[in-house]
Structure 1
């Protein structure tokens, strides 16, 4: 099966391409570096020609109020091209609980992306993942100084990028879900506790201070970023991943 992976050179996309090709499919990565511009439409039709499945793993360059425009334009261009190419399946990667945090511009933008896909002309699947383990270090920098990292108690259930890629590849190779699959790591932590575990593993002597007003995740209410019933639980534990 020929599968066009848009954003196929990034953290998740490169692994999705590798997994699909190892399974015997013809997965082709596309990105700005390969000459495709999903905002202007340059190279889109050529990249999707003959594709039976389109996997869109691109992301907005910003997480602010400009992000909805990115997803609207890019999805409109890609869905129209997928229809012209005769693709029978369109897959995106989203976030567990994304529609439960309207206070965040980026989460509203990702919800918009989902809604555009659902209303579009191509049968679809949405894979929603929890926060990537690979991004936890970046999260710790948002509210840190040389001595202290301030973090809220927001519950999260981190997942390894390799496990996300495996789920996306499996969904892309199958029949359209016409709905959503949630995937998550096996262990849930309050974010402040996760920060302490991470710093200790890194040999970082800074102190984590619990501050429920600190950083982007302070806007999250309750445990909406952790999966509900029916989620697929990935095998990689955060403590093992850290090692």
Structure 2
């Protein structure tokens, strides 16, 4: 099976390519560095040609309202290329709870991406994952001020990028779902406690202060970023830290 992985050189994409090739498929990475541009459409026809499956792992460069235009344009271009090439399966990676946080521009943009794919001409699968463990340092940096990091107590169910890549590769190698496959980490933490755990492991003596107004995740109400019905990945956060 030939799989075109758009965004195939990034954190998830590079691992998906490696896992699919190890399983005996022909997975080819495409990115701006290989001459493929999802916004202009450059190189997309060539990437999709001969592919049985197209996996789109590209991401908006910003989290603001510009992300809406990014996903609209990129999906329109990718779907046109996939349809022209006769691709039989189109896979994207999205976020658990993405349709329940309209206050966040980026989440509305990812929900739009799902809607465009579901309404499009190509059989599809959507993989929704919880927050990546690898992003925790970035989350801490958003609200850091001197010796203090402010974080809300938003429930988070962190998942390792390697486990996400496993799920995407597995879905890509199977038949189109025509729906959503959900994956999550095995444990739920309040985000502020997760911050404390992370800093302690790094021997970082900054203090985490619980602040319900701090950072992007302050806009999240309740536990919508967790899902007890999702498939649980094996990697625990403390094991990942170690």
Q: Tell me the equivalent position of 2:239.
A: 240
Report the Cα distance in structure 2 between the residues aligned to 1:98 and 1:190, rounded to whole angstroms.
Answer: 18
1:33-62 alpha-carbon deviations (Å, 9 max, x no partner) = 000111111111011100000000000011
**Which structure 2 residues correspond to residues 170-189 of structure 1 after superposition, within 5 A?**
170-189=170-189
TM-score, normalisation: structure 2? 0.99
Q: Tell me the equivalent position of 2:84.
A: 84
Q: Tell me the equivalent position of 2:19.
A: 19
Q: Tell me the equivalent position of 1:217.
A: 217
Q: Tell me the equivalent position of 1:144.
A: 144
1:96-130 alpha-carbon deviations (Å, 9 max, x no partner) = 00000000000000000000000000000000000
Report the Cα distance in structure 1 between the residues aligned to 2:205 and 2:42, rounded to whole angstroms.
Answer: 49
2:140 aligned with 1:159:
no
1:18-37 alpha-carbon deviations (Å, 9 max, x no partner) = 00000000000000000011
- Tell me, what secondary structure is at the counterpart of 1:11? coil
Q: Tell me the equivalent position of 2:49.
A: 49
Give aligned pairs, total.
Answer: 242
Q: Tell me the equivalent position of 1:93.
A: 93
Unaligned runs of 5+ in 1: none
Unaligned runs of 5+ in 2: none
Report the Cα distance in structure 1 between the residues aligned to 2:234 and 2:37, rounded to whole angstroms.
Answer: 35
